[in-house]
Chain A
Amino acid sequence: MNELLSSQKQRVLTLTLNRPEARNALNNALLEQLAQALEKAQHDDSVGAVVITGNARFFAAGADLKEMASRDMPATLNDPRPQLWARIERFPKPLLAAVNGYALGAGCELAMLCDIVLAGDNASFGLPEITLGIMPGAGGTQRLIRSVGKALAYRMVLTGEAISATQAQQAGLVAEVTPAALTLEYSQKLAARIAQHAPLALQAAKMALRQAHEISLTQGLQQERQLFTLLAATEDRQEGIAAFLEKRPAAFKGR
């Protein structure tokens, strides 16, 4: 059975985690497929944005514990997993997560790695690694605290307790809460709205946003300006401004 379903509608590619029997647990094989699908989408000009989703009950309920249990210290040291996560993170186009049900552990980390998270009103987010005698290992301690702040991040990581979609929205982890039956549809709509913009501008803007957590404000402002300047050399910038002034829709070419 295919554990990662892929479907494209216009410029939006939807990747569906499909291991229902394992609560969509993210084992290495599934992460590899995800990384490959994103690398393919990166070089496919017909893809403007990507939505990652799961099913009605599980976005992804963690890593694959059976896989993890069999790895001792040396094996964990040389685990290919960090590389897989890094490949997923390198995806330069807008990446959305449509989360229904549980996004726990690696599932929560995957959602946080995405640029925008939409959550169903039944969704919950948590990092329960601590209850297993381990800790988040794919950005959980880093990305969470940057989006929700110290108080909630420490509480979630040290207790392992999950938060609801509404709490996650209030804390800044989630952009929008929707009825669960509409999460995917609304995520795809949002992705479609994003994907109609100039691809190079999207890529540059995403790059600039990413930098915000990496470097100082002064450096960030410099980088932002460089990227901004870079876009001045694109045809799409001329087209975008011309279309606005002429009150017509822009036809972007990705150049």
Chain B
Amino acid sequence: MNFILSDVQHGVMTLTLNRPERLNSFNDEMHRQLAEVLTQAERDDSIRCLLITGAGRAFCAGQDLNDRNVDPTGAAPNLGASVENFYNPLVKRLAKLPKPVIAAVNGVAAGAGATLALGCDMVIAARSANFIMSFSKLGLVPDCGGTWYLPRLAGRARAMGLALMGDKLSAQQALDWGMIWQVVDDESLNDTARQLATHFASQPTFGLGLVKQALYASETNTLNEQLDLERDYQRLAGRSEDYREGVSAFLTKRPPVFKGK
């Protein structure tokens, strides 16, 4: 069974979470398939942008609770294991991937589905989509990077409200709070996201990768450390083929042709 559909076109790898009858919620097998496809995205230089979306009406409903039946008389489940084995490596790999990652949130994103989407570099949501930090309603903690991303995206006050109450957050509200990049009408989500992804796939990928790493590093660096990092990354970027191409195209007034190197 293919729980993850992947398709590479024009430098864009589209990953579709594909368990529509379960609102694309994660089980272990789906995690394994996702991990495998991510390896391809990491190794293949011709892939210059990653686009993640969901099949059917949901983006992702987080962890499939059918896998988490708790026998009231049995031993307590070890939820830390799936966080350690699946969610944490996933979040780390997406953050480390030196190419833009876009989430096209086509419908409800709940639990780890919501925090997964919010951890992507660019989030475009359909107007009807919702983000639900449902963890607290089950007595759990936002995982898949939730407690790290939420305060950084929404500020502490809103992060607290979202995470403690676990209520539905509309796509529009998420946009108004600066948590996501764009909201579009449902029917144009696919086209808008694809257009953005195709644009990224023609851009100086090496430089974009450095931009992304620098922004992540800024979350823990002091100003001085970050200035050093900017010096280092600019040194590397200045040696890239794409920078040379960009300058030469600018001076000769022609459109640049970037190779991503």
Contact = CB atoms under 8 A, between A and B. Distances in A.
A102 B60 CA distance: 38
Contacts of B236: 179, 181-182
Interface residues of B, number: 4
Interface in B195-248: 232-233, 235-236
A100 to B, nearest CB: 14
Interface in A225-249: none
A181 B232 CA distance: 9
Interface residues of A, number: 4
A109 to B, nearest CB: 28
Contacts of B232: 178-179, 182
Contacts of B233: 179
A101 B233 CA distance: 19
A178 to B, nearest CB: 6
B220 to A, nearest CB: 10
A178 B229 CA distance: 8
Contacts of B235: 182
Contacts of A181: 236
Contacts of A179: 232-233, 236
Nearest to B210: A179
Contacts of A182: 232, 235-236
A178 B228 CA distance: 9
Interface string A166-185: 00000000000011011000
A101 B47 CA distance: 24
A44 B101 CA distance: 53
A179 B232 CA distance: 7
Interface in A61-80: none
A64 B19 CA distance: 49
A253 to B, nearest CB: 35
B2 to A, nearest CB: 33
Interface in A190-244: none
Interface of B: 232-233, 235-236
Interface of A: 178-179, 181-182
8 contacts: A178-B232, A179-B232, A179-B233, A179-B236, A181-B236, A182-B232, A182-B235, A182-B236
Given A178-B232, A179-B233, A182-B235, 5 more contacts: A179-B232, A179-B236, A181-B236, A182-B232, A182-B236
